[in-house]
Amino acid sequence: MKIHRIETGKVRIRRNQVTKADGITPKMLKVLFDKNWSDWLPIYAWAIEHPEGVIVVDTGETHKTGNKGYFPRWHPYYLLAAEFDVRPEDEIGPQLRKIGIDPDRDVRKVVLTHLHTDHAGGLRHFPNSEIIIEKNEFEAASGFTGVLAGYLPHRWPGWLKPNLITLPDAPYHGFPQSLPLTSDGKVMIVGTPGHVAHHISVIVEMEGVYYFLAGDTSYTEENLLKLQPDGVGNSQSTGTLKTILSFAEANPTVYLPSHDPRAPARMENKAVVPVYREAIPS
């Protein structure tokens, strides 16, 4: 098995989105009217080479975000709170081809942690793959209510017929719900609600290390360690971060959120979340 990290360009958002600000102003207003940008952050997607076929986790962003009118002009979030820098060659399709993976032929499954544009923007590269999306998340992102919530359902490929899943009550370590993606159970989907109500993450167990492809459960490992939720998620965020931390206490875990500039270094050095405790033999 092997995990490839694919950077599909960069995004910058308001600092109050990266880390939740204190105070009583509604959270979206704090994000929209924050004067401070974050740094330009990477947009990562992942490709897992598994004997049963390649599994892609998130598809990154498209360069079309640079086209006039790609985002609904009237939408305050795109007007005020997000900027993208993606070139055509940054998209996931060309990048996979460069490393010898043909997105048309070799990618068996594509899992989306959630449907925000910087995770679903590369969907069009996978017309022949099984696209796995959490059912409630798909419903929340669809139609005009989806657009209001900041999703871009009208930009999804016309052929999209996802396999809509609901996670069964099958505990995996501390996660109450999980679903295996491979028959050996080495690639698992777990429920990580918070950033959106039905966010999912993928855990890959490889040579005794657990690679936690975290989507947007938090924007950085630092915020995970501080149990610091982001500025757009719901009240489940902190509980999810606690569950991830206790998982990382019991299992050597490399935490890889979609926008953490330090993810590459941790991945290369197999740097586990610094709460891991070796199991004490009883």
Question: Among candidates 72, 69, 57, which has minimal Cα distance to 8?
Answer: 57
CB 1 → Zn ion: shortest distance, Å? 26
Give the shortest CB-98-to-Zn ion separation in angstroms: 26
Q: Which residues bind Zn ion (CB under 5 A)?
A: 116, 216
**Residue placing its CB nearer to Zn ion in the complex, 182 or 236:** 236
Nearest approach in angstroms of CB 171 to Zn ion is 26
* Nearer CB in complex with Zn ion: 12/116: 116
Q: Are strands 163-165 and 130-134 parallel, antiparallel or unpaired?
A: parallel
DSSP per-residue string spanning 202-218? EEEEETTEEEEEEETS-
Helices (H), 23-125: 27-32, 76-80, 92-98, 117-120
Nearer to Zn ion, 93 or 215 (CB): 215
Nearer to Zn ion, 216 or 221 (CB): 216
Closer of 91 and 216 to Zn ion (Cβ): 216
Strands laid side by side in the 209-215 sheet: 178-180, 187-191, 200-206, 209-215, 253-257
Q: Report the distance separating Cα 87 and Cα 33, nearest Å.
A: 28
**Shortest CB 216 distance to Zn ion, Å:** 4
Q: What is the CA radius of gyration of the chain?
A: 18
Task: Determine the Cα angle at 279 with ends 276 and 281, to 5°.
Answer: 165
Closest-CB residue for Zn ion? 116
Rounded to the nearest whole angstrom, what is the least distance from the CB of residue 195 to Zn ion in the complex? 6
